[in-house]
Amino acid sequence: MLQPDQNADPGDAVHPETLTVLIQVIESRRNKLVRSAQRITGNREEAEDVVQESSLKALLNLHRFRGDAQMNTWLHSIVTNSAISRLRSRRGRCNVSLETELQSAEPLLIYTS
């Protein structure tokens, strides 16, 4: 489960207009963010998951947005970092289609007595 940043001051309040802007950025840039994540992950469904999780991370950590960059740039960096992290966690796992394995397997011989 995603949690807000533990290093942030819990007293930091987010201005309602800032929240509104973030929601607008998420909605207006969603397709571009998904395409960007898909270029990294190589999978549309996984990219959509990354964007969903990144949007939640951004909302939970909005109080940490410093305004040094535009909000869409901040959100894009969260999506990029999340997609790269997802790709790294996928390393070492072998995803093989069972259907492909069965098609390439040799026939099974059954011996009866």
Is residue 99 assigned to a domain? yes
What tokens appear for 57 in the block? 């991370």
Is residue 8 assigned to a domain? no
Domain hosting 47: range is: 16-104
Q: What is the pLDDT of residues 47-78, one digit of tens each?
A: 999 999 999 999 999 988 888 889 999 999 99
Please count the structural domains in the chain.
1
Q: How confident is the model at residue 79 (pLDDT cuts 50, 70, 90)?
A: very high
Is residue 11 assigned to a domain? no
Read off the CATH number of the domain in which 26 is found.
1.10.1740.10
Is residue 26 scored above 70 in pLDDT? Answer: yes
Vertex 79: Cα angle to 88 and 12 (nearest 5): 115
Is residue 9 assigned to a domain? no
Vertex 1: Cα angle to 76 and 26 (nearest 5): 25
C-alpha dist (Å) from residue 105 to 80, 99, 102, 109, 110: 38, 10, 5, 12, 15
For 15-38, what is the mean pLDDT? Answer: 92
